[in-house]
Amino acid sequence: MTLISKIDENNIDKQEIKKQAEILKNGNTVIFPTETVYGLGANALDNIAAAKIYAAKGRPSDNPLIVHIYDKKQVDELATDISEKAYTIMDKFWPGPITIILKKKDIVPNITSGGLDTVGIRMPSNPIAKELLKEVNLPIAAPSANISGRPSPTKGKHVYNEMNNRVDGIILGGDCTFGLESTVVDLTNDIPTILRPGSVTKEDLESIIGQVNIDPALEKKEDNIKAKAPGMKYKHYSPNADVYIVSGNINDVIKKINELSNNNAKEGLKCAVMCLDKNKNKYKCNTIVLGRNLEEVASNLFNALITADEEKYDIVYTEEFSNCGVGRAIMNRLLKSAGYKIIKV
């Protein structure tokens, strides 16, 4: 049985938080909202508790977990060799959607670090997550709360539908604001490297700590096997539909998608296009509107992929977005959900 707590982030019910914190203290699993996506949490320092996360997600155990904290002081308990740049990032962006990779201390078990000698740490800003982490007063490992390979959940109904009865507690706390997982940045070398793009961008980081690299493995399918964030190498964000990115000048893209979807319809296939609001009336097939700007697209993307499943589309075409700023995070997730299938026009 899963204990379900509905909590309003503007009027937090402390009693419900206490009940869910108790579950975590007892070495069991609780799903909670964060500002990025919902997380599936358990005590990061307890082998057996962390193993329950992998079991609930059906996730390979060489994939490290992000450890969530509520107070910067907890970083010293978990990590060592913390650079000035790391402190600068914590001061500027925490609490918020960025995970830092540091050299781990022995207290962090191998199951949490996926066998690596490093640990990913993040301090979320969502008020419910903060309150829960404070109440439980333990570092909480929490990957996104989806079954491995599926889009990350950004709404209460997503976690409830997918994870009810797979975990011990679920906090339903409304929609996640950013909608894409945190930026992951490796700070174990002199020049920081982004291992997963998110809403804190390369440009944001460079404005405070100078040069930042992007893991070259991120951009290409073949290279993903070598990706430094092991989570990036697995099949990811995949709806049941076949997803294709259509790339080129927007007028050509629209023409191509109308042509393809017309042919698909003749073959009895149900298709849709994920597009910007301003283009929705130019398509002859069904549309799933992603938003009016990149921030809205980021926040709606996973919901759109889940909607594609609910509406049982066979094929989903998507417009392409610019690969800079938050667009980089959007294209990273889109490429994965499309299995790197791009139609160039």
CB of 344 to ligand TXA, least distance (A): 28
Nearer to ligand TXA by Cβ, of 144 and 287: the residue is 144
CB of 318 vs Mg ion, minimal distance in Å: 20
Q: Which region, judged by CB under 5 A, interacts with Mg ion, from 40-48, 56-64, 138-146, 290-298? A: 138-146
Contacting residues for 332 by C-beta, under 8 A, at least 6 apart: 196, 197, 218
- Compute the least distance from the CB of residue 122 to ligand TXA, in Å: 6
Spatial CA neighbour of 69 closest among 4, 23, 133: 133
Of 87, 37, 15, 74, nearest to 237 by C-alpha is: 37
* Residue number, 120 or 173, with CB nearest to Mg ion: 120
CA-to-CA separations, 323 to 258, 333, 342, in angstroms, rounded: 24, 12, 14
Is the Cβ of residue 244 or residue 302 nearer to Mg ion in the bound state? 302
Residue whose beta carbon is closest to Mg ion: 144
Closest by CA to 246, choosing from 145, 345, 108, 103, is: 345
C-beta of 23 vs 184, nearer to ligand TXA: 184
The minimum distance between CB 259 and ligand TXA, in angstroms, equals 36
Residue 300 binding target from Mg ion, ligand TXA, none, CB below 5 to 8 Å by type: none
Q: How far is the CB of 106 from ligand TXA (least distance, A)?
A: 15
Residues forming contacts to ligand TXA in the complex (CB under 6 A) are 34, 36-37, 39, 63-66, 99, 101, 113, 116, 118-120, 122, 142-144, 181-182, 184, 195-196, 228-232
- Cα separation of 23 and 28, whole Å? 5
- Residue 63 interacts, among ligand TXA, Mg ion, none and using kind-specific CB cut-offs from 5 to 8 Å, with ligand TXA
39 contacts which partner out of Mg ion, ligand TXA, none, CB within 5 to 8 A by kind? ligand TXA
Report the distance separating Cα 316 and Cα 286, nearest Å. Answer: 10
Encoding tokens for residue 293? Answer: 């700007």
Q: Could you say which residues in the range 144-183 bind Mg ion, by CB under 5 A?
A: 144
Neighbour tally for 41: CB within 10 Å: 34
For 84-99, b/e burial (b = at least 16 CB within 10 A) is ebbeebbeebbbbbbb
Query: What is the Cα–Cα distance from 214 to 192, expressed in whole angstroms?
Result: 9
Least distance in Å: CB of 234 to ligand TXA?
9
Please give the size of the binding site for Mg ion, defined by CB under 5 A: 1
Which residue(s) pair with 319 in the sheet?
A: 246
Angstrom distance (rounded) from CA 227 to CA 232: 6
- Shortest approach of ligand TXA to residue 301 CB, angstroms? 14
Residue with smaller CB distance to ligand TXA, 92 or 270: 92
Where along the sequence are the contacts to Mg ion (CB under 5 A)?
144
